[in-house]
């Protein structure tokens, strides 16, 4: 016999207590909706736990729910941010825009005293601007320390409807791989690294120093030193070209003849003192660029050394210096060519990438003579 069902009508339904995790989750949702967090960044788990009066584990579990939904994103070292507050790159009306970006790495900002691009950036920019203007494009220019290049580029792209961009004098490959990929046509200008998916144009650094050595050897020099930029890893090709030039000429390579210096007045002074201390003393010096050569000549003359009677000096490109013997490219034309490459990509995104090395030309001045 089936027992009768109990009559529960007088009994009220019990409400289950709301879990703390859910309460914290709901509070975070409201805060996100009301844009409570400044700059879209959440306080730390400890701060949230203290504010809600719950454990860190409760806060963590609540935040994980919102992360799975895409409302929050957690970054190592940066903390947790509201996803909607993350800077995003947009391309509003890019198809009809006439704007081109030009971002140049400023090594005077990133590495105090290194005038590595003095005289070249302006010439390359002028060439790029002139070429862009001929096609009715406008160029927006930005400069940033090497470590800030990616951030500067993303801000530029986020604020302007660019059709493409030129990145000038960047020497580190890692940030380049994160600068937008193929989402926007890019060209690397005055760049010594090979990034397969991005076209580039630069001077042939190794050829420049080889030509300098070849010229000095033809004058009769056999004791030829080389002064490299102290940031040696950013351009190993100049040093390589110097060594190749000595080998091709059958001239002995002396390791103590390879010096490193900052591209500055202090670097020129230190180099001059180091050269005078070498035994045997070099009769000629090849410098990483013209600016370093200029500072070296000033320092040598201050030490009562005459150029070229006591020592010949050759630069390997950069700013235009009157009467300096140098191996130089036409930086203005290189800027024009970079812009032409970029505009060709804008017209035809399927165009095959090019990696162009421009051969420098030896320009004779009064700073070299037979030993």
> pLDDT tens-digit profile of 96-123?
789 999 988 877 644 445 555 566 888 8
Q: Could you tell me which of 159, 120, 148 has the C-alpha nearest to residue 290?
A: 120
Mean pLDDT across 202-229: 95
Say if strands 186-189 and 200-203 run parallel, antiparallel, or are unpaired: parallel
Q: Which of the residue ranges 185-199, 273-287, 316-330 would you say has the lowest mean pLDDT?
A: 185-199
Where in 249-341 does DSSP place strands (E)? 258-261, 284-287, 312-315, 325-328
Give dist(CA 51, CA 31) in Å, integer.
13
Task: State residue 241's pLDDT score.
Answer: 95
Terminal-residue alpha carbon distance, the chain: 125
The structural domains of the chain, ordered by start, are: 20-85 (1.10.10.10), 96-202+331-358 (3.40.50.2300), 205-329 (3.40.50.2300)
Stated pTM of the model:
0.69
Q: Which of the residue ranges 56-65, 165-174, 341-350 would you say has the lowest mean pLDDT?
A: 165-174
Tokens 């704007």 appear where? 99
Q: Which one is predicted more confidently, 79 or 262?
A: 262
Q: What is the pLDDT of residues 72-84, one digit of tens each?
A: 888 776 788 887 5
Say if strands 138-144 and 99-105 run parallel, antiparallel, or are unpaired: parallel
């Amino acid at each position: 016999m089936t027992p009768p069902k109990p009559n529960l009508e007088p009994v009220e339904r019990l409400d289950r207590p709301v879990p703390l995790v859910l309460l914290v989750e709901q509070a975070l949702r409201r805060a996100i909706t009301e844009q409570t967090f400044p700059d879209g960044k959440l306080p730390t788990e400890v701060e949230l736990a203290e504010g809600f009066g719950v454990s860190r584990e409760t806060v963590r579990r609540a935040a994980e729910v919102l992360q799975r939904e895409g409302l929050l994103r957690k970054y190592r070292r940066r903390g947790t941010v509201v996803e909607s507050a993350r800077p995003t790159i947009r391309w509003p009306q890019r198809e009809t825009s006439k704007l081109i970006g030009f971002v140049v790495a400023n090594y005077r900002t990133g590495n105090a005293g290194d005038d590595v691009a003095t005289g070249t950036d302006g010439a390359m920019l002028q060439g790029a601007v002139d070429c862009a203007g001929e096609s009715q494009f406008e160029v927006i220019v930005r400069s940033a320390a090497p470590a800030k290049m990616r951030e500067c580029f993303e801000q530029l792209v986020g604020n302007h409807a660019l059709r493409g961009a030129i990145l000038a004098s960047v020497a580190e490959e890692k940030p380049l791989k994160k600068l937008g990929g193929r989402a926007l046509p890019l060209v690397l200008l005055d760049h010594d690294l090979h990034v397969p998916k991005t076209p580039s144009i630069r001077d042939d650094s190794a050829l420049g120093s080889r030509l300098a050595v070849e010229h000095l050897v033809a004058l009769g020099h056999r004791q030829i030193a080389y002064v490299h930029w102290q940031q040696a890893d950013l351009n190993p090709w100049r040093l390589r070209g110097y060594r190749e030039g000595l080998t091709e000429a059958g001239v002995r390579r002396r390791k103590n003849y390879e010096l490193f210096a900052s591209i500055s007045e202090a670097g020129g002074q230190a180099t001059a003192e180091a050269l005078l201390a070498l035994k045997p003393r070099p009769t000629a010096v090849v410098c990483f660029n013209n600016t370093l050569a200029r500072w070296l000549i000033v320092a040598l003359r201050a030490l009562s050394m005459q150029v070229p009677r006591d020592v010949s000096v050759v630069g390997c490109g950069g700013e235009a210096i009157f009467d300096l013997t140098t191996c130089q490219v036409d930086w203005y034309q290189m800027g024009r060519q970079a812009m032409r490459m970029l505009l060709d990509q804008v017209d035809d995104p399927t165009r095959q990438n090019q990696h162009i090395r421009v051969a420098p030309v030896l320009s004779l001045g009064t700073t070299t003579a037979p030993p």
